[in-house]
Amino acid sequence: MRSIIKLFTVIILIITAITYGQDISKSGTTAAQFLKINIGSRAVGMGTAFTATASDLSSIYWNPAGLANNKSNDGYFNHTNWIAGVDVEFAALTSYIDGFGTIGAFVSVANEIDGDAVRTLDQPEGTGELFDAGGIALGITYARQLTDNFSIGFNFKYIQERIWHMSAQGFALDIGALYKINILNEFRIGANISNFGTKMKLSGRDILEVKSVGE
């Protein structure tokens, strides 16, 4: 048990060191922002302080380690009518395998812009064309209760974001842990690292290429 906790701690420290060791700026950091749109009425009602509380299927979003407590086959569906006309659909299915843990799959679909007018410098009122923008995340999850009090969970995601004729793809990982202390009506400590993954860069025919004079 101590070896497992040490290994998990080392993984978290390595990821933290890599993250904070990079040159972080605000430029180009807006990819796949739909992943930050929270799900679950209970979690949102608690002010998103849900990492240690998560125990239902919404744990896939908040802390996949919480799925280790789910020892049945379940489904979960969530619709979020967000600001500025953004809609997010989230669905998940999980299954418990005795002696192995809980496995699952999930999908998150965001409709960020639906049929807005294409405008150019020459035609500021619109060209008559419409464009849309959105994103999708597909993933699988695994959670296991290592002891009566300690559980871990992982999400592996494929992420795609699009706007008109351009798109970007990437992969991401979530790592979660949950520890229960049998005092004060089951005191809990939870930790989760979300959306740690590859860089995303839009590509497509709408990219404006700027060339230097003389090229």
What is the full per-residue pLDDT of the chain (215 aa) written as tens digits? 566 566 666 666 655 555 555 555 555 556 788 898 998 888 888 888 888 888 788 889 999 999 988 888 889 999 988 888 889 999 999 999 998 999 999 999 998 777 788 888 888 888 888 888 899 999 999 999 988 888 999 999 999 999 888 899 999 999 999 988 877 667 888 888 888 888 888 888 777 654 444 44
pLDDT score at 94: 93
Residue 138 and residue 154: Cα distance in Å, rounded? 14
* Separation between Cα atoms, residue 177 and residue 2, nearest integer Å: 14
| Interstrand relation of 150-163 and 187-197 (parallel, antiparallel or unpaired) | unpaired
pLDDT of residue 215: 45
